[in-house]
Amino acid sequence: MAKLTAKTLIVNDSSPSRDLLIGDLSIGDAVEQTYTFDAHARRAFSQVANDRAPVHMDDRFAGDQGFRGQIIQGLCVSTRFSRLIGMYLPGEHAILEGINLQYRLPTYEGQTLVYRTEVIRLLKPMKVVRLGLSVKSAQGLHVDGEAQCIVR
């Protein structure tokens, strides 16, 4: 179930997607979702990406590198943006053109993350949307960046 608070839509994994057109969007529109990675998600990403770097698979190695345990792969953390962009903001008509991300903090299993995608620029005649992206936890900012989409 989704609810609208101000201009921010809060969704979960069972929320239906949105069928928005460029004219439906405004600067400041946003969508948020909370998500917690577990060992299953980390292992599933490792299998799909074939990324078995020891910092993601071996607690001792990760500790030797200064981490408190195995860290979730950065691109694994970023994959949740695909859902937010393609299903909610801009939504079903969005085609991702580019994305730029900076990884600020490591992510560990069991950390609750808040994903946010927000419209920061609209070029309606060209049907282009620029989005601000962020992933935060109680520990701070994990990922931030921008994406650009065309809305067909």
pLDDT of residue 4: 47
CATH number of the domain enclosing 108:
3.10.129.10
pLDDT of residue 2: 55
Question: Mind listing the pLDDT tens digit for each residue in 120-132?
Answer: 999 999 999 999 9
Contacts 24+ apart (CB under 8 A), 129-134: 129/22, 129/25, 129/90, 129/94, 131/85, 131/89, 131/90, 133/81, 133/99, 133/101
State the pLDDT confidence band at 28, using cuts at 50, 70 and 90.
very high
Could you list the residue range(s) of the whole structural domain that residue 82 is in? Answer: 3-37+77-151
Residue 43, domain member (yes or no): no
CA distance 42 to 92: 27
- Predicted TM-score (pTM) of this structure: 0.90
Total domains in the fold of the chain? 1
Burial class of residue 119, CB neighbours in 10 A (0-12, 13-18, 19+): buried
CA distance 92 to 113: 24
Residue 13, domain member (yes or no): yes
- Which of the residue ranges 1-10, 15-24, 109-118 has the most confident prediction, judged by mean pLDDT? 109-118
